[in-house]
Each structure stands twice: as C-alpha cells, then as structure tokens.
C-alpha cells in the first residue's frame, strides 16, 4: 500500500509551488506599493496576526487530507475560550488551565470523530450539528459572565511576538512530523485517497479518524488559549465563521478538499497569503469589506487551479 502523496509527478511539485509563488508575488507587490509595508515591524505583525488562524488551521489540514471535514471548530473555539475564562475566574492555576483546556479541546475533537465514524452520518452533517451544540453550550456557560482581566502569567502566552509565533511554529512542526514520520500520519493520505481501499488494505480507518479529529480539537484549544491571553478577555461570540476561514486557508494553500493531497507546508503558505492580503490591503487603505472580496476571489482562484489540474491529470 504505497502512499499517494509520494507520487511526485511534475504537476504535483508545481502544484505545491504555485501558492508559494502567489505569496511571494503578493508580498512583493505590496512592498512595492507601500513604504510602510516593507518594514520589519510589518513582517512581524503579519506573523503575529497569522498565529490564531495558523494554529487553528493545523487541525483541518490533517482532517481534510484524510477526506474528513470538521465544521464545528469555530464553535468549539468559543466553547474552549469560555471554559478557559471560567476556570481563570475561579482562580484555577494557569498551568492547570492550559492543560485542562487542551485536554478539553482534544476530547471534544474525539467526540466529533466518534459521531462521524460511529454513526456513518456524513462529516458535514455530523459536525454541523456539533457546531450548534458547542455554540449553545458556550452560551449557556458564558452568558452573563464577565470573563476578563486574566493573570499576567496567563497573558504571557499571547503577549508580544515571540511566544505566540513560537507556539505556532511548534504546532506546524508537530503536524509536519505527524504527517511525514508516523504511520498514522501518512495513512492519512491513503485514507483520504480512498477510504475503501485503505480499509481493505488493513488500515484501521475508523480508529485513525478518531485520532485525526482529536488532533483537530487539540489545535482549536491551542488557538483559543493564545487569543484569550492576547485579548485578555473571552466571550461566547468568538470563532463565528472561523471554521470556514481555517478551511479556506488550508485550501488556498493547495490542500485538496476532496482528500488525499496536501500538507502542512501548504497550509502555512495559505495562512500567510490570507494574512498578508489583509495586512497589505490595510496598508493601502482598502476597507475591510474589500479585503473580504479579495480573499473570496483568491479562494475561488485557488480551487479553480486545483480543478483545472485534476482535469489535465485525468486527460494525461
């Protein structure tokens, strides 16, 4: 059972490089257009602004490659944030808060996987349901609670550039190692390529799916921890639409929505494209409504490239 991702045809390589070319072009264009954009400060800011989306998108990268989908992560983000806020309000020690919220995120991820795998409900529907469930629970727990003014030691998690960016880089490295160095990781590609073939080849597909979704939940918690620390408050409305932002970043990077193809490197590029576009357009004084329009165009464009290439591969 060879892994599909290992087939490095010319088009495969090119496909990985296109988003990178896009990123470089976007960056250079903005740098040429705006003097304030081509500064070290701005580069640092782009990376910092990429942290929340980046850590969040690490999970969907794995889930999408395996052919799964998790729409509940935006709501789970809010729920984890509320749980963090409540624990900090109750003066739970910061280290315990961090560990418990990561465990909580992972457990919720497992639950998502279990619902999809256990019932055979399509992932789209199963996780759509959980999206409502998590949001509702977040509102039940967090309504009428002031969750803010956290201890300094907690705020340090999201303060400045160094710590949040380092956390993001570690997350990316973990996913990289998982996908390229572990059996569970590269089976992700096989399962995404063909669920049925993998199962017949003896891959424990159901068990692995549980693990992929669990990892997704874990990274949601990482992301929520950083934002709660950074903003120094949490509330129940967080994460609205974030699941789609994360999935969009993964897809812009070139990971296929239909599974089997992709990688964390592509997600890094996808996240940076989104963040660079937002920051760059801000530097040019473009309103945030136009920023949305441009991100939308980039998503369509990226997926269109994918479609065109698939068609060419079929013909070849």
Q: Which is nearer to another protein, 126 or 254 (CB)?
A: 254
Residue 120 touching another protein (CB under 8 A):
no
Q: Which is nearer to another protein, 46 or 268 (CB)?
A: 46
What is the nearest approach in angstroms of another protein to the Cβ of residue 286?
Answer: 5
Q: Which is nearer to another protein, 42 or 72 (CB)?
A: 42
Residue 22 touching another protein (CB under 8 A):
yes
Quick one: which of 94, 123, 279, 306 contacts another protein (CB under 8 A)? 279
Q: Annotate each residue in 49-68 with x if it binds another protein (CB under 8 A) or - if it does not, as one string.
A: x--x----------------
Residues numbered 125-164 forming contacts with another protein, rule: CB under 8 A = 143-149, 159-160
Report CA-CA distances (Å) from 273 to 23, 49, 276. 5, 12, 5
Q: Concatenated DSSP letters for the chain?
A: ---GGG---HHHHHHHHHHHHHHHHHHHHHHHH-TTTSSHHHHHHHHHHHHHHHHHHHHHHHHHHTT---TTHHHHHHHHHHHHHHHHHTT--HHHHHHHHHHHHHHHHHHHHHHHHHH---HHHHHHHHHHHHHHHHHHHHTT--EE---HHHHGGGSTTHHHHHHHHHHHHHHHHHHHHSHHHHHHHHHHH-HHHHHHTT--HHHHHHHHHHHHHHHHHHHHHHHHHHHSEE-TTTTTTHHHHHHHHHHHTT--TTSS---HHHHHHHHHHHHHHHHHHHHTT--HHHHHHHHHHHHHHHHHHHHHHHHHHHH-
Q: Annotate each residue in 234-263 with x if it binds another protein (CB under 8 A) or - if it does not, as one string.
A: -xxx--xx----------------------
What is the nearest approach in angstroms of another protein to the Cβ of residue 5?
Answer: 20
Residue 25 touching another protein (CB under 8 A):
yes
Q: Which stretch binds another protein (CB under 8 A): 64-72, 89-97, 213-221, 226-234?
A: 226-234
Q: Which is nearer to another protein, 206 or 292 (CB)?
A: 292
Count of residues engaged in binding another protein, rule: CB under 8 A = 63
Q: Which stretch binds another protein (CB under 8 A): 30-38, 95-103, 107-115, 168-176?
A: 30-38
Q: Which is nearer to another protein, 120 or 285 (CB)?
A: 285
What is the nearest approach in angstroms of another protein to the Cβ of residue 309?
Answer: 8
Quick one: which of 3, 121, 128, 305 contacts another protein (CB under 8 A)? 305
Nearest CA-CA partner of 262 in 11, 2, 12, 33? 12
Q: 15: phi > 0 → left, psi -120 to 50 → alpha, else beta; which?
A: alpha
Quick one: which of 119, 166, 180, 288 contacts another protein (CB under 8 A)? 288
Q: In whole angstroms, give the CA distance from residue 62 to residue 150.
A: 32
Residue 8 touching another protein (CB under 8 A):
no
Residues interacting with another protein, by CB under 8 A? Answer: 10-11, 14, 18, 21-22, 25-26, 29-30, 33-37, 39, 41-42, 45, 48-49, 52, 143-149, 159-160, 227, 230-233, 235-237, 240-241, 278-290, 292, 294, 297-298, 301, 305, 308-309, 312
């Amino acid at each position: 059972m060879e892994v599909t991702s290992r087939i490095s045809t010319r088009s495969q390589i090119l496909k990985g490089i296109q988003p990178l070319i896009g990123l470089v072009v976007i960056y250079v264009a903005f740098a040429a257009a705006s003097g304030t954009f081509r500064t070290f400060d701005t580069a640092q800011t782009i990376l910092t602004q990429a942290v929340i989306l980046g850590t969040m998108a690490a999970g969907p990268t794995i889930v999408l490659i395996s052919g799964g989908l998790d729409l509940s992560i935006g709501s789970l983000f809010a729920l984890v944030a509320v749980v963090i806020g409540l624990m900090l309000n109750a003066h739970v020690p910061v280290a315990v808060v961090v560990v418990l919220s990561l465990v909580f995120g992972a457990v919720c991820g497992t639950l998502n996987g279990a619902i999809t795998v256990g019932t055979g409900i399509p992932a789209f529907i199963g996780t759509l349901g959980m999206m409502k469930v998590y949001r509702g629970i977040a509102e039940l727990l967090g309504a009428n609670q002031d969750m803010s003014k956290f201890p300094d030691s907690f705020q340090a998690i999201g303060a400045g550039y160094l710590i949040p960016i380092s956390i993001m880089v570690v997350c990316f490295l973990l996913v990289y190692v998982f996908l390229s160095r572990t059996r569970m990781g590269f089976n992700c590609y096989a399962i995404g390529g063909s669920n049925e073939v993998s199962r017949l080849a003896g891959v424990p597909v159901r068990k692995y799916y549980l693990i992929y979704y669990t990892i997704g939940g874990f990274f949601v918690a990482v992301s929520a921890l950083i934002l709660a620390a950074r903003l120094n408050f949490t509330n129940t409305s967080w994460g609205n639409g974030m699941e789609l932002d994360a999935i969009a970043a993964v897809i812009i990077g070139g990971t296929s929505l239909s599974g089997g193809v992709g990688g964390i490197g592509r997600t890094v590029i996808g996240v940076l494209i989104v963040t660079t576009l937002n920051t760059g357009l801000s530097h040019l004084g473009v309103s945030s409504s136009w920023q949305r329009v441009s991100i939308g165009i980039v998503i369509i464009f990226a997926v269109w490239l994918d479609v065109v290439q698939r068609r060419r591969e079929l013909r070849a």
